[in-house]
Amino acid sequence: MSYLRFSLPLFIFFSPVVLLAEEPEEPKEITFAPAMRELRKHDVAMKAIVAKQRRIQNILTAKHIAEKKAIARQTVQALKEHQKKATLADRLDDALAIREAIKKLEQGPGGTPDKAESEIPVIAGSFKGHRYLGVHINKIDWDQARQLCEKMGGHLATANTPQEFAFINALVGPNNLWSGGAYMRGKWRWIDGTAIDARLWHRIGPIKTAGANFVYFAGGAGTVANEASSHKNIPGFVCEWDR
């Protein structure tokens, strides 16, 4: 028995497999705008708080300074009254000590006197580092002159050398002006404690009138002379600044 053999080609079919990957999602945009807005609001609020705190601090500081100045002024006024009594009682050492205390109180934090009360007038004359000014005021006694001069930041003028006296005498001219001299502790002295040179007096010396314990520059005579503090015919004073 014969068989017919047929060779059939072997066909193997492979179905193509397509793997479809999922499409990636679009990245979401990250925005900081809301957060930045909040930060800006917070920053503005903090700046407002800081500014308010500074204003409050400035107000408190100004108030504190004003209170300190008010207390200092009251203390200075009280010390000036004590200085006046010490001067009139011939207690020169006490008067000078009180004067130094007043100077310290009238100085600011930086050691500088209050400008409003101690600025030297530009017209004041200058001699060896000191400044001098003749102030003409009718009907002023010695103590009023002293207080006014100290309020200007100076003191009634003293003449410790012939050269200084010559300068002041030229400044005084023909006028009579109160000086910083007085009869204290049994002697004629300047308010800085130094003795008044006897050669500055008129040839007859000080007058012996009771209570005539205060010295003025007698410009017409070119000397010093003395009168009572209450004497009203001395039309002003010479103020001196030691700077």
Write down the pLDDT at residue 220.
83
Asked if residue 126 and residue 46 are part of one domain, the reply reads no
Q: Is residue 2 part of a domain?
A: no
Write down the pLDDT at residue 19.
52
Q: Is residue 193 part of a domain?
A: yes
Strand pairing report for 176-184 and 155-156? unpaired
Asked if residue 144 and residue 100 are part of one domain, the reply reads no
Q: What is the mean pLDDT of residues 32-58?
A: 70
Write down the pLDDT at residue 210.
79
Q: What range defines the domain where residue 174 resides?
A: 120-241
Distance CA(106)–CA(110), nearest Å, equals 11
Q: Is the dihedral of CA 193, 121, 126, 243 positive or negative?
A: positive
DSSP 104-173: HHHB-TTS-B-HHHHPPPTT-EEETTEEEEEEE-SS--HHHHHHHHHHTT-EE----SHHHHHHHHHHHT
Asked if residue 110 and residue 165 are part of one domain, the reply reads no
Asked if residue 220 and residue 145 are part of one domain, the reply reads yes
Write down the pLDDT at residue 226.
87
Asked if residue 155 and residue 91 are part of one domain, the reply reads no
Asked if residue 47 and residue 73 are part of one domain, the reply reads yes
Write down the pLDDT at residue 46.
72
Top-ranked range on mean pLDDT: pick from 59-73, 125-139, 155-169, 208-222: 155-169
Q: Angle formed by the axes of helices 142-151 and 33-88, to 10°?
A: 160
Is 80 exceeded by the pLDDT of residue 163?
Answer: yes
Put simply, whether the predicted model's pTM sits higher than 0.75 gets the answer no
Write down the pLDDT at residue 184.
86
Q: Is residue 146 part of a domain?
A: yes
Asked if residue 227 and residue 153 are part of one domain, the reply reads yes
Q: What is the mean pLDDT of residues 164-184?
A: 92
- Of 64 and 77, the structure prediction assigns the larger pLDDT to 77
Q: Is residue 56 part of a domain?
A: yes
- Of 93 and 17, the structure prediction assigns the larger pLDDT to 93
Structural tokens at position 106: 């009238």
DSSP 23-74: PPPPPPPP--HHHHHHHHHHHHHHHHHHHHHHHHHHHHHHHHHHHHHHHHHH
Q: What is the mean pLDDT of residues 220-238?
A: 84
Q: Is residue 101 part of a domain?
A: yes
Asked if residue 147 and residue 54 are part of one domain, the reply reads no
Asked if residue 132 and residue 112 are part of one domain, the reply reads no
Give the end of a domain, one of 84, 119, 154: 119
Write down the pLDDT at residue 238.
95
CB contact at 8 A, 117 and 214: no
CATH number at residue 190: 3.10.100.10
Number of domains observed in the structure of the chain = 2
Distance CA(17)–CA(208), nearest Å, equals 142
Give me the percent of the chain exceeding a pLDDT of 70.
58
Write down the pLDDT at residue 178.
93
Distance CA(77)–CA(88), nearest Å, equals 17
